[in-house]
DNA sequence: CTGTGTGCAAACACTTTGCAGGTGT
DNA sequence: ACACCTGCAAAGTGTTTGCACACAG
């Protein structure tokens, strides 16, 4: 189990309280977090701008990835299935219409799809909307 | 083949030059258009706000649908596979990394995916990024 | 010590809202 | 005639940029 400081070191990023907390929050939560979510949950005082830059850096270095959303809001989740060298390019996300949470369905395989001639796929993202397991129990 | 005015009539929307041109542009183009794309291609003078409201109305009435995009920009495409009563909830889109165009792959079926217990899917969107047939020929 | 992370202010981009007036049916 | 579409102004929200200072390695 890697802690936030360990991961930062692995990716050659300086450890700061902001970075550690952002990364920890993303790792702890089972669903993707938006900039606003993070700002709300952070205990460390941190400028909005710093948060944007932190997320951008993490994304560029490959620690986290953007999560598709049906409205415009950008959410982020850690690249748990990716190693530093080998980046995974297939993501299945489920967004619950009730609680609004978006979770990564790590165990769902993307089936092979035959594309029309001439199209070459690089990355595949699936966004399924519906009702999640927690909201279905209520 | 339905023309823009016909479609507007079907959906009980008043015909105006703005609406006709927006709908025509969406129908003519094989790829999804953003608000900015439309604003650029419109010959009819039209306020930005009107364009936003037109797109919102079309979307609410079911003439067009939002197209997922990996960055935040919202794009729109006509619901060609949907009838007024029967709305299709599965979309496969392909975004080309070179030309930036996003096309609907109408012929690609979304395979059945087994979701974890408790999850119920309502709508499925797939966004595949890669290189499209046109850019591959160059 | 040095490169880079941070905070502040400001700009920028995208989208929505309110209201008065104009237009399609 | 009446509902509703449009334009203008303004505000709201999300994100980026420039610069000076602070801090981790």
The nucleotide lying nearest A71 (C-alpha to C1') is C15
Q: What is the pTM of this model?
A: 0.91
B113 neighbourhood in chain A, CB within 8 Å: 92, 108-111, 126, 128
State the CATH class of domain A4-137: mainly alpha
The ranges assigned to domains in chain B are: 4-137
Distance B11 CA to D6 C1' (A): 20
Q: How far apart are CA A1 and CA A51, in angstroms?
A: 25
- pLDDT by position in tens, chain A (length 138): 579 999 999 999 999 999 999 999 999 999 999 999 999 999 998 999 999 999 999 999 999 999 988 887 899 999 887 777 777 788 899 999 999 999 999 889 888 899 999 999 999 999 999 999 999 998
Q: How far apart are CA B102 and CA A42, in angstroms?
A: 36
pLDDT digits (tens, 9 = 90+) for B6-33: 999 999 999 999 999 999 999 999 999 9
Q: How far apart are CA B10 and CA B62, in angstroms?
A: 11
Proximity of residue A15 CB to strand D below 7 A: yes
Query: Which of B120, B132, B133, B136 to mutate to probe the A interface, most A CBs <10 Å?
Result: B120
């Amino acid at each position: 189990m890697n802690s936030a400081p360990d991961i930062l070191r692995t990716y050659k990023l300086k450890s700061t309280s902001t970075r550690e907390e952002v990364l920890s929050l993303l790792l702890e939560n089972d669903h993707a977090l938006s900039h606003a979510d993070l700002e709300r949950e952070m205990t460390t005082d941190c400028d909005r701008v710093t948060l944007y830059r932190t997320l951008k850096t993490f994304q560029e270095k490959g620690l986290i990835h953007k999560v598709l959303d049906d409205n415009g809001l950008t959410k982020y989740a850690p690249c748990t299935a990716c190693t530093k060298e080998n980046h995974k390019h297939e993501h299945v996300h489920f967004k619950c219409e009730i609680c609004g949470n978006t979770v990564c369905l790590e165990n769902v395989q993307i089936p092979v799809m035959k594309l029309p001639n001439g199209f070459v796929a690089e990355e595949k993202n699936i966004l399924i909307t519906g009702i999640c397991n927690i909201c279905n129990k209520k």
